[in-house]
């Protein structure tokens, strides 16, 4: 690592936000030396709680993240926010970078907000996002919140980065709950019915209750925790609080002793209602992860996936060089079109040098 990057790392570890911004920019741009810089960050990570916020478009994710950050700051905790935005088809950068719905903490240097491009990655999460989380963690942020694009089932990728995943569901939309059944159920640690003052909230809560109960009964692996409405439940929901609490108790009884069933929290983010209860469920889940040993296991799996991802990226880059040396992808494709060869033959030829190198390493020749 060169002297400039060493100073940059020192400034980041000393808590200088300008250095944090520069490091994340270096990570996003894949600038020379970024890998050495990120490698140095790992020794300083592992203290932050990483929270993923996902769900369908229009569920109110940005508003809820804003209120989360505001409440954490009232508790004197520092916050880092990574907002994953759709990629611009022209520049590849984030197209919603203004984050106009996150206005409550503007001017507070202890809330660091960074918009990042999805870069076309499945689930909207790129390797750069994972590295940016490492930078915020090493910097010393207490809470790191990742808000995703909200692309439906593909949001499963968020599990690879977040410790706790909250899935937001807007009220009155059976289709959204049906979408969850297709896959997101398995990644939800907490369900949030936001905009719970609107018509249809009760129905959405009950549909989620049924879905979670079925998942627990079938032994579906879920990381969430059985929760219930506390004394601060929203006034607009008083008529079904008792039913909700009874459901939560039944769900807990159906689950294995070491299994955590996702609670369902109701919020009105625009008025910060239900946010304290939501934070309580997030904290309960974090405690569960530590007490059960699940957090350590998740970290091992996360790092294993990071290794695989980096290997795929590096091999891809190597093969791009081989493609260029072989005349370029267009010429090879033309050879396939004219019947001179096949994609399989080309792939075997390009991979042969890589395979030979690996064989030499294994045999020591």
Using the 8-state DSSP alphabet, how is residue 93 labeled? S
Q: In whole angstroms, give the CA distance from residue 229 to residue 237.
A: 10
pLDDT in tens, the chain (365 residues): 899 999 999 999 999 999 999 999 999 888 999 999 999 999 999 999 999 998 877 888 999 999 999 999 999 999 999 998 765 434 444 444 435 455 667 778 899 999 887 654 544 457 888 999 999 999 999 999 999 876 544 456 666 789 999 999 888 755 656 666 656 667 889 999 999 999 888 888 988 888 888 766 554 444 433 333 333 333 333 444 454 555 455 555 544 557 889 999 999 999 999 999 999 999 999 999 999 999 999 899 989 988 998 888 888 888 888 888 888 899 999 999 999 999 999 989 888 888 888 888 887 65
pLDDT at 221: 42
Element (DSSP H or E) covering residue 115:
strand 111-117
CA 171 to chain centre: 23
- By the 8 A CB rule, do 326 and 333 touch? no
Give the 3-state secondary structure of residue 230. Answer: coil
pLDDT at 80: 96
pLDDT at 222: 43
CA torsion 139-10-97-313 (nearest 10°) is: -90
Strand order in the sheet with 190-193: 111-117, 79-85, 143-147, 49-55, 164-169, 190-193, 264-266
Using the 8-state DSSP alphabet, how is residue 159 labeled? G
pLDDT at 217: 56
Give the 3-state secondary structure of residue 111. Answer: strand
Phi, psi of 84 (to 5 degrees): -85, 120
Return the ∠ at Cα 147 (arms to 145 and 153), rounded to 5°. Answer: 130
- By the 8 A CB rule, do 342 and 336 touch? yes
CA 53 to chain centre: 7
How far, CA to CA in Å, does 151 sit from each of 184, 203, 257?
A: 11, 23, 33
pLDDT at 322: 80
Q: In whole angstroms, give the CA distance from residue 271 to residue 70.
A: 12
Find residue 113's DSSP bridge partners: 81
């Amino acid at each position: 690592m060169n002297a400039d990057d060493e100073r940059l790392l020192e400034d980041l570890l000393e808590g200088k936000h300008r250095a944090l911004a520069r490091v994340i920019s270096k990570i996003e741009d894949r600038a020379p030396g970024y890998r050495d810089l990120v490698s140095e960050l790992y020794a300083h990570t592992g203290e932050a709680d990483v929270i993923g916020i996902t769900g369908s478009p229009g569920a109110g994710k940005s508003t809820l993240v804003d209120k989360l950050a505001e409440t954490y700051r009232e508790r004197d905790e520092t916050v880092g926010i990574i907002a994953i935005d759709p990629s611009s088809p022209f520049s590849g950068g984030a197209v919603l970078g203004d984050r106009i719905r996150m206005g409550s903490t503007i001017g507070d240097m202890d809330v660091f907000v960074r918009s990042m491009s999805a870069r076309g990655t499945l689930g909207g999460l790129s390797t750069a996002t994972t590295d940016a989380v490492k930078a915020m963690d090493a910097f010393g942020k207490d809470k790191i919140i990742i808000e995703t694009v909200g692309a439906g089932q593909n949001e499963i990728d968020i599990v690879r980065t977040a410790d706790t995943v909250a899935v937001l569901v807007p009220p009155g939309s059976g289709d959204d709950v049906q979408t969850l059944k297709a896959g997101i159920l398995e990644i939800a640690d907490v369900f949030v019915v936001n905009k719970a003052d609107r018509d249809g909230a009760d129905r959405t809560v009950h549909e989620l209750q049924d879905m979670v109960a079925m998942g627990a009964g079938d032994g579906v692996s879920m990381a969430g925790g059985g929760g219930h409405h506390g004394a601060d439940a929203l006034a607009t929901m008083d008529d079904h609080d008792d039913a909700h609490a009874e459901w939560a108790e039944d769900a807990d009884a159906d689950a294995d002793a070491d299994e955590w069933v996702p609670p369902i929290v109701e919020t009105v983010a625009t008025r910060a209602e239900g946010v304290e209860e939501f934070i309580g469920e997030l904290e309960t889940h974090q405690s569960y992860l530590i007490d059960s040993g699940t957090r350590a296991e998740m970290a091992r799996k996360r790092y294993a996936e990071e290794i695989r991802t980096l290997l795929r990226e590096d091999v891809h880059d190597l093969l791009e060089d081989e493609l260029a040396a072989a005349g370029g992808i267009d010429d090879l494709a033309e050879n396939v079109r004219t019947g001179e060869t096949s994609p399989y033959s080309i792939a075997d030829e390009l991979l042969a040098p890589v395979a030979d190198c690996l064989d030499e390493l294994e045999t020591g020749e």
